[in-house]
Amino acid sequence: MALTDDHWQAELDLNLMPAVRLDRLLAPQMIDRGFGSIVHVSSIQRTLPLPESTTAYAAAKAALSVYSKALSKELGPRGVRVNVVSPGWIASEASTALLQRIADGTGGDIEDARQSVLAALGGIPLGRAAEPSEVAELIAFLASDRAAAIHGGEYVIDGGTIPTR
């Protein structure tokens, strides 16, 4: 209820459509070569959305994950692997900016904001956010020939945030 149609459209335009457009451009070249690898970056919020302000983001990332699975079914038989990486809390400029917006909105400080996000996530059992380089290493592995038999999967890198089902 807190988000306008413009917010919803902006999240889809930022978190789903660039992947669709790049795939349309690059996948035919991979198919022509008979091999290739696509790695999309989703988010654990697709299954663990935070309330209100990130709902549209979470929905767009869920759409990306579903799109990726469908694409893997289409492209796998043509030699193109498709996988998804879903990070949790990442120590980044964007996460720092989010904490600042929360702190500004609540009148608290950055640590209060961090604790509120951690509480909303249910904590991070590993005890820390992932570093961007750790996510990049997973993506590089999935794109490499070392992962030649890995296809159609989604790999979570969240320090144990999402509970086991």
pLDDT digits (tens, 9 = 90+) for 17-53: 999 999 999 999 999 999 999 999 999 989 888 766 6
57 is catalytic: yes
Question: Exactly one of 55, 57, 90, 161 is catalytic; which is it?
Answer: 57
For residues 147 and 141, give the distance between their C-alpha atoms in angstroms, rounded to a whole number.
6
Domain that holds residue 97: 5-157
User: Into how many domains does the chain fold?
Assistant: 1
Report the range of poorest mean pLDDT among 4-8, 61-65, 138-142.
4-8
Assign residue 118 the CATH number of its domain. 3.40.50.720
Mean pLDDT rounded to a whole number for the chain: 92
Q: Decide if 67 is inside a domain.
A: yes
Q: How crowded is residue 68: how many other Cβ atoms within 10 Å of its Cβ?
A: 22
For residues 35 and 30, give the distance between their C-alpha atoms in angstroms, rounded to a whole number.
5
pLDDT at 2: 75
Q: Decide if 163 is inside a domain.
A: no
Q: Decide if 165 is inside a domain.
A: no
Q: Decide if 148 is inside a domain.
A: yes
Helix, strand, or coil (residue 37): strand
Per-residue pLDDT tens digits for 68-96 = 999 999 999 999 999 999 999 998 998 88
